[in-house]
Amino acid sequence: MKSYPRISIVTISYNQAEFLEQTMGSVLGQNYPNLEYIVIDGGSKDCSVEIIRRNADKLAYWVSEPDRGPADAINKGFAHATGEILGWINSSDVHYPWTLHTVAEVFEEIKEARWVTGVASHLDAGMGPKGIGLGVMSKYDFLARQATWLQQESTFWRKDLWDEAGGYLDANVKHMFEYGLWLRFALLAPLYQVNTILAGFRVHGERIIPSSADVQRQEQLYREYCSQFGFMDILRSKIVKHTRGVEGSVLRGILHRMGLMKWYEKPRIVRDFDHQRWLVK
């Protein structure tokens, strides 16, 4: 690329020394030339701070102090971010060697893209592969519950979208707090998907399992934000009920015929490795 947009990545951590060094190494080891890396530790009692200090010269900012939970820590990190592109990765997940260069290329080539996500991938505690998600999705798949989540560590966005969406995560929500952010993004811009893996979600015993209260809060947010589109009842009763189990292309066709979706809202970004360029289809 002729230029490298500044990418700000936030990592939050609390007593995750077992995985933290691998996470930080996966971000720093890409040697992306315009990286702003921020680490927010919640006052860990293990050796996390020693790990952070060993890499302090490569960090734009770091702190170790108590916070009000992960969403509060992420907000604190982004308050120090100056990048054009933002994203966060938790302290047990990993980027791949091509992640930041790929993300930068997408945003440089596809000027209208305001947020992008990759193909989901999962790793076990020892970094062995557990699985890769298939297929692509748009914000309509997400809103219609054909897809109920986005892989957060594989999702990146422009700072102006973050600012327009309020520039915050709800610190009162302890788990699944990113769901509200995705819904606010969906109100403002189409979701673009890169047809490659961008990050790995590590499955291990210390992962926090969402409670029934988390699920109820997700449902509440879904209803609140979908109502702003003006077709929540259509999505919930007329489409989802009759297209359960069919391919997403059928759902998108119905939405298109109803005038609720334009084809350009569902771009597929495909890597052409032979020509080293991006194609939008």
Ordered by start, the domain boundaries in the chain are 7-280
Residue carrying structure tokens 């707090």: 177
Residue whose C-alpha is closest to residue 59's, from 79, 71, 85, 77: 77
Global pTM? 0.78
Cβ atoms within 10 A of the Cβ of 109, count? 14
User: 10 Å Cβ neighbour count for 235?
Assistant: 20
Nearest alpha-carbon partner for 115 in 29, 183, 28: 183
- Alpha-helical segments (H) within the chain: 17-28, 48-54, 70-78, 99-109, 139-143, 159-164, 178-188, 212-227, 232-233, 240-243, 248-257
pLDDT exceeds cutoff 70 at 279: no
CA distances from 63 to 50, 57, 68 (A): 12, 13, 14
What's residue 208's pLDDT? Answer: 57
pLDDT, tens only, 12-28: 999 999 999 999 999 99
Query: What is the percentage of the chain residues whose pLDDT exceeds 70?
Result: 64
Q: What is the mean pLDDT of the segment spanning 26-35?
A: 97
Q: How far apart are CA 126 and CA 128, in angstroms?
A: 6
| Residue 75 pLDDT greater than 60, yes or no | yes
The CATH number for 7-280, chosen from 3.90.550.10, 3.10.180.10, 3.10.129.10, 3.20.20.150, is 3.90.550.10
The pLDDT, as a whole number, for residue 237 is 46
Return the DSSP state at 136: -
Tens-digit pLDDT profile for residues 151-203: 899 999 999 999 999 999 988 877 778 888 988 888 788 888 888 889 998 86
Q: How confident is the model at residue 217 (pLDDT cuts 50, 70, 90)?
A: low
pLDDT at 126 over 80: no
